[in-house]
Structures are given as C-alpha cells and as structure tokens.
C-alpha cells in the first residue's frame, strides 16, 4: 500500500497530461467503485482540482438526466483529491465524515466538478493535527454543466489523521 501512496503523491506533484493519465489509471484500480462511472481528473493545480462526470447511460437516473448519486460521488472525489494534493496520501488517512448535496438543476450534459484548494488553510490543519492527532476539514465542490450552468454544490467534511495515529485491528 505504501508503494501506491508514494506513486499517487508523485503523480499529484507532477500533474502533466501524461501524469494525469497515469493517475487516472492508478485510481481506477485503487478506487474500483469509481471506475464504471468514467470520472476523469482533468486538472490538478495549486488552485483547484477538476474532475469530469460523463453524461452516459450508466450515470443516468430514471428521467434520463445525470443521477444525483453520481454527482455526489464526483463531488466527494474532487474534495478528496484536493486534500491529497494538499497533504499527500502517504502522510495522512482521509475518511469522509459527512456529505451534503444541494441540487440546483437537472444535469443533462457532461458535468465537471471543481474544488478550490483555497478553502484549505494548511497551517490551521497542521496545528489541529499536532494538537489532537486528527482534524475535520470541510470542503465545497461546485458541479457545473460544460456551459457553466451550476447543477449542484457538494459539501463534504473529511477527517484527516496521521497514518502513525491510525489504530487497526490485527
């Protein structure tokens, strides 16, 4: 597992077109639930993470639009990748603690989720981790159609914890 985390961290530091293709392949294997949906990380920068959600039959609801759960998942994925970009997979374990979605419009085209890294105050998180060994970070991901029309806002709360603080059953 450590090798996979090191590889993810290395790819996050060098988000070239080839690096993003490799990262998408690694994560398709590492997060098999996301693979059938066709999510693709299209941008990782110091400012944001952007992930596409294709409008295809597998992602449709009974009305023919993009399914609410697919939108929620791409919002979660964007936020999680933002935290990994900021803190690394090798140093911290991330667990989703809370998820809330406000749907504002029925998505009927390809969608794109965007999570701003500006929401993360690294110094505050580091101080919280040092003081308590864990930290709760809330992030908002905005999901839009390619035209720019907003379809949902996904608010996630993540628990960050240093891997050396994680206790697992033997």
pLDDT digits (tens, 9 = 90+) for 38-56: 999 999 999 999 999 999 9
Q: 103 lies in a domain?
A: yes
Binned at pLDDT 50, 70 and 90, residue 170 comes out as: low
Q: Which domain holds residue 125?
A: 2-165
Q: How many domains does the chain have?
A: 1
Q: 132 lies in a domain?
A: yes
Q: 26 lies in a domain?
A: yes
The pLDDT of residue 169 = 63
Q: First-to-last CA distance in the chain?
A: 16
Which residue is listed with tokens 């399914």? 67
Structure tokens at 10: 């290395």
> 29: domain CATH number?
3.10.129.10
Binned at pLDDT 50, 70 and 90, residue 36 comes out as: confident
Selection from 1-5, 11-15, 114-118 with the highest mean pLDDT? 114-118
Q: 77 lies in a domain?
A: yes
Please answer whether residues 83 and 139 qualify as being in contact, where contact means their C-beta atoms are separated by less than 8 angstroms.
yes
The pLDDT of residue 1 = 65
Q: How do residues 113-154 score in pLDDT, each as one tens digit? A: 999 999 999 999 999 999 998 999 999 999 999 999 999 999
Q: 42 lies in a domain?
A: yes
Please answer whether residues 94 and 160 qualify as being in contact, where contact means their C-beta atoms are separated by less than 8 angstroms.
yes
The pLDDT of residue 15 = 87
| Dihedrals phi, psi of 161, to nearest 5 degrees | -150, 135
Please answer whether residues 36 and 53 qualify as being in contact, where contact means their C-beta atoms are separated by less than 8 angstroms.
no
Q: 15 lies in a domain?
A: yes
Tell me the β-bridge partners of 152. Answer: 103, 143
Q: 170 lies in a domain?
A: no
Q: 64 lies in a domain?
A: yes
């Amino acid at each position: 597992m450590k090798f996979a985390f090191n590889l993810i961290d290395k790819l996050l530091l060098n988000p070239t077109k080839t690096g993003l293709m490799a990262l998408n392949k690694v994560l398709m294997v590492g997060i098999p639930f996301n693979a059938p949906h066709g999510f693709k990380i299209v941008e990782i920068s110091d400012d944001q993470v952007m992930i596409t959600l294709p409008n295809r039959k597998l992602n449709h609801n009974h009305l023919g639009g993009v399914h609410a759960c697919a939108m929620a998942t791409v919002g979660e994925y964007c936020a999680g990748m933002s935290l990994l970009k900021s803190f690394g997979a090798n140093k911290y374990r991330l667990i989703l603690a809370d998820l809330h979605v406000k749907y504002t419009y029925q998505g009927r085209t390809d969608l794109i989720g965007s999570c701003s890294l500006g929401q993360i105050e690294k110094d505050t998180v580091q101080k919280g981790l040092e003081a308590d060994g864990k930290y709760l970070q809330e992030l908002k991901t905005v999901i839009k159609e390619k035209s720019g029309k907003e379809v949902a806002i996904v608010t996630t709360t993540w628990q960050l914890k240093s891997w050396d603080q994680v206790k697992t059953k033997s």
